[in-house]
Amino acid sequence: MVTEREPTDLVRVIHLLVLSFSWGMQLWVSFIAGFVLVRQVTRHTFGLVQSKLFPVYFYCLLAANLSSLVVYALHHASETTEWHANVQMVLYLVALVTAGLNAQWLGPAATELMFRLRAVEEEHGLGDQVGLGSQKEAYAKLREQDPKYGACKRMFGRYHGLSNLVNLVGFVCTTTNLVYTALNLTTI
């Protein structure tokens, strides 16, 4: 019998589907799609695709993580004295914050810098090669010749690296919550 604190079967199924959707999307975008794409299309096409894909990805994660946190919090409010409930709540919150950071700050900043880099690279006939390792010497020469380009490249590297790190933290949180949920299928 369902009590007012215990979720219905429909809520459990929806919660598990949303959590699985988040995890699968993070796995695909973070570890498969980018690595395949970067080896198949030109550098600038890769950047353009990522600039269109990432906002959708980050906002879908944000919505999924928010719904997971809300459902979990509503149905586990009375368990806040149990350490595992607190840990899981914190993991949902961290996953939400990481998606929000990427959606609102890191992703847009990295994309803006990528388009600045792209404009300079196009002026120098770069960016139409497939793979990021192509024409390393030409890119190194451009960084030496154009200090603004070099500074922009370093800033892009920082934002991109931080975005990747934040995304990885969110993925670990989602993975941990999914594993915990799988091990406790009678609860969400």
d(C-alpha 1, C-alpha 116), whole Å: 59
pLDDT tens for each residue of 48-62: 999 999 999 999 999
pTM given for the model: 0.89
DSSP codes joined into one string, 98-136: HHHHIIIIIHHHHHHHHHHHHHHHHHTT-S-SBSTTTTH
In tens, the pLDDT along 131-165 reads: 777 788 999 999 999 999 999 999 999 999 999 99
Is residue 109 predicted with pLDDT exceeding 50?
yes
Judged by DSSP in three states, 81 sits in coil
